[in-house]
Amino acid sequence: EVQLLESGGGLVQPGGSLRLSCTASGFIFSDYALTWVRQAPGKGLEWVSSISSYGPSTYIADSVKGRFAVSRDNSKNTLYLQMNSLRAEDTAFYYCGLAVTGPFFDYWGQGTLVTVSS
């Protein structure tokens, strides 16, 4: 059974940093691309960043470019999102998504909440 478990969310002050993790099981982690999608409370879905199966290719939304970085450790079956210079508008649930059938999201984690506030 495919499982994706996000962690690392919490309350952080504006300008602070946080690293999110998404630990996976139930599939061959290194074979698939992964994505971070976020959702501000009560709002719609926003794509944040994607990384290819072996990590040479990464893509990032303009809204977080220069502040966020995606990476993966295939030996630990873990996806990361390093978030720096956090702003109030980064407050959201952050989900990791797995692309198996095609370049869309067959599986999702349960999400982790990041709150940026003083």
Partner 1 sequence: DIQMTQSPSTLSASVGDRVTITCRASQSISSWLAWYQQKPGKAPKLLIYEASSLQSGVPSRFSGSGSGTEFTLTISSLQPDDFATYYCQQYNNYPRTFGQGTKVEIK
Return the residue of 1, 13, 103, 118 that touches partner 1, per CB under 8 A: 103
Shortest Cβ distance from residue 66 to partner 1 (Å)? Answer: 15
End-to-end CA distance of the chain: 40
| Cα gap 71→3, rounded to integer Å | 19
Residue 44 binds partner 1 (CB under 8 A): yes
Minimum distance, C-beta of residue 112 to partner 1, in the bound complex (Å): 11
Residue 111, interface with partner 1 (CB under 8 A)? Answer: yes
- What residues numbered 49-78 form the site for partner 1, per CB under 8 A? 50, 59, 61-62
Task: Mention every residue, 6+ apart, whose C-beta is less than 8 A from residue 20.
Answer: 6, 7, 8, 9, 36, 80, 81, 83, 94, 112, 114
Q: Is 106 in the site for partner 1 (CB under 8 A)?
A: yes
- Closest to partner 1 by CB, 17 vs 106, is 106
Say whether residue 80 binds partner 1 (CB under 8 A): no
Phi, psi of 35 (to 5 degrees): -140, 150
Q: Identify whether the C-beta of residue 47 lies closer than 8 Å to the C-beta of residue 35.
A: yes
Is the distance from CB of 76 to CB of 109 less than 8 angstroms? no
Q: Applying CB under 8 A, which part among 22-30, 69-77, 78-86, 99-107 lies near partner 1?
A: 99-107
